[in-house]
A and B are shown apart, each in its own frame.
Chain A
Amino acid sequence: MHKPLMPALGLLIALVVFVGWIAVAQSDPASAASSNSIQPPAQAPTGTAIGAPAIQPTRSVAASDLSTPAFTVQDVEQYISGNPMSRNLAISSKPTIVKITFITSQQASALLDESMDLPDSALVCYVELSGTFTFPGPNGATATFHKGYEVFDAHTGNLIMVGGR
């Protein structure tokens, strides 16, 4: 009569201990941070180069060569046609490329009136787009523009800026 209860009681005790442990793990920031730290990274970080991988370089260019881009205008066109602009809400609007130009970081900074994250002499690829570009902010704010832009590091192909004007 009591025998069916024995495993149930044992299971009950084990469950109480286990649930208690879960509750502590969920409420303790240090414990949670520790458990996060043992998970493998979702994406492997690599160094401290600015930007996110975008355009695949198609030319071999020496690091000391500041004036030669590692990819072509055609490479840029191909990337833009296949990859919607990051953060743009208006994804159904297909933008038109207005201009693709290789300029220095300093020139791009002057063009955008925006601080760049590369040395002034670094070569960047500035792409001007026409279409609808809607960027969201918190608390319901959205900013919509009809001129958009993307800036790439001309040596790595990394995407370093997006925006609208």
Chain B
Amino acid sequence: MVHENQPSATALMTKALHPQVRRLIPIATALLLALLASQALSLLNPLVARAYSCGNPSSGHCYGYNYWSMPSGTKGAGTDIVVVHLNCSSCWSLGETGFIDNEMWFSNYNNSGCSNLGNACWVEAGYETVSGAFSTTVNYFWADNRPGHGFSAHVLAQVPSGDYGNSAEFSIWQTGSGTWAVNITSPNYNYSNSSTSNSMVPNAILIGQELAGTSGASAPIAYFTNNWYYDSNWNFYYQGYEGGVTSQNPPSAWWDTDPHNSSSGGVFQTSCC
């Protein structure tokens, strides 16, 4: 029980402080309040929709990704992505094809066989929001852009509720001439298929987030770990260095743990918006 005349612990601490220090307390409090406000905004960031320009042929989509330039003929790539709650609730109501995803691209740039495909061929896999006539769902997906065959995107199963908060592994590797296995493995979903008739010669691996549309998307922080590749001789390696990071804000992308300081390819992060 505290007596009325008994000084409180705070009062005693205040009295014990040097007068100059005491004068700094209100200033320090104000600075901390400002810091707290910025931190709170940062935490709320994924929940607060904001306008962006990521949805037409002139502006293109927006990206937050890491780009590794690889030796031509790299055989495979993989990453584990924590499955987070992507949201794109108003993307469709605007009559746009808005979406947001987290994914990996295994790409071949500057290949003459891909000249009519934006000078790039690729196989990509991840999870994304898909808006239909009645709802927006979050689905696993993969896609390929193949020499002579064009672009195809496969909309797979909706992400099972038990996968949220857990890692899903996405891997792509060559299984034969012109054939690339696509695998998705999560606690509640296993998927395998192949990109066939695909003569790409990969020379880049990218991991990150893609954003399309003008508003309404959000995504909490997702982590990309166990970033690995097979070299042209089928030797397995974890990535050992940071590639080039593109962060168009939105989406935001950054390295939390540099691969150089990690034995499993580092920890990359994305978030939006």
Contact = CB atoms under 8 A, between A and B. Distances in A.
Contacts of B139: 51-52
A137 B25 contact: no
A137 B130 contact: no
Interface stretch (A36-44, A62-70, A120-128): A36-44
A160 to B, nearest CB: 6
Given A2-B15, A19-B35, A135-B145, A159 B130 contact: yes
Given A25-B43, A138-B208, 4 more contacts: A86-B153, A87-B99, A139-B120, A143-B118
A114 to B, nearest CB: 5
Interface in B98-135: 99, 105, 107, 109, 116-120, 122, 124, 129-135
A138 B210 contact: yes
B196 A138 contact: no
Interface in A98-143: 112-115, 117, 134-143
B82 interface: yes
Q: How large is the interface on A (under 10, 10 to 19, 20 to 34, 35 or more residues)?
A: 35 or more
Interface of B: 8, 10-11, 13-15, 22, 25-26, 28-29, 32-33, 35-36, 39-40, 42-43, 55-57, 60-61, 63, 65, 67, 82, 84-87, 89, 92, 95-97, 99, 105, 107, 109, 116-120, 122, 124, 129-139, 143-145, 149-161, 164-166, 189, 193-197, 204, 206, 208, 210, 212, 220-221, 223, 246, 256, 267
A42 B158 contact: no
A45 B85 contact: no
Nearest to A149: B152
A134 B118 CA distance: 10
Task: Please report whether the interface of chain A is mostly helix, strand, loop or mixed according to DSSP.
Answer: mixed
A54 B265 CA distance: 38
B137 A137 contact: no
A145 B99 contact: no
A43 B196 contact: no
A11 B165 CA distance: 34
A41 B130 contact: no
B61 A22 contact: no
A45 B159 contact: yes
A54 B129 CA distance: 13
A46 interface: yes
Interface string A1-43: 0100111111110011011001101110100111011010111
B255 to A, nearest CB: 13
